[in-house]
Amino acid sequence: MDLSTHVDAYLDHLRVERGLSSNTLSAYATDLRRFATFAEPALAKRGDKLEELDGGDVAGFLVKLSKEGLSARSSARYLSSVRGFLRFLVRERELEVDPSALVEGPKLARKLPMYLTLPEIDALLAAPDATTPRGLRDAAMIMLMYAAGLRVSELVELRMGDLDFVRGTVTPLGKGSKRRVVPVADLALALVRRYLDEVRPAIVTELEKRGEKGNDRVFVSPRGGGFTRMSFWKNLRGHLLRAGIAKKISPHKLRHSFATHLVARGADLRAVQTMLGHVNVTTTEIYTHVARDHVRRAHAEAHPRGR
pLDDT in tens, 228-281: 889 999 999 999 999 999 888 888 889 889 988 888 888 888 888 888 888 777
What pLDDT, on a 0 to 100 scale, did the predictor assign at position 108? 63
**Are the beta carbons of 262 and 272 closer than 8 angstroms?**
yes
User: Which residue from 252, 262, 250 is spatially nearest to 287, judged by alpha carbons?
Assistant: 262
Across the range 211-222, mean pLDDT stands at 84
Is residue 166 helix, strand or coil? coil
- Residue 45, pLDDT > 80, answer yes
pTM of the model: 0.63
Is residue 115 helix, strand or coil? coil
3-91 under CATH 1.10.472, yes or no: no
pLDDT tens column, 283-303: 777 777 665 555 555 545 555
For the chain, the 3-state helix, strand and coil shares in percent, each to the nearest 5, are 60, 5, 35
Query: Among 3.40.50.720, 3.40.640.10, 1.10.443.10, 3.90.226.10, what is the CATH number of 118-302?
Result: 1.10.443.10
Across the range 90-95, mean pLDDT stands at 90
* Catalytic center residues: 151, 175, 252, 255, 278, 287
Domain extents for the chain? 3-91, 118-302
How far, CA to CA in Å, does 11 sit from each of 8, 17, 37?
A: 5, 10, 16
Is residue 173 helix, strand or coil? strand
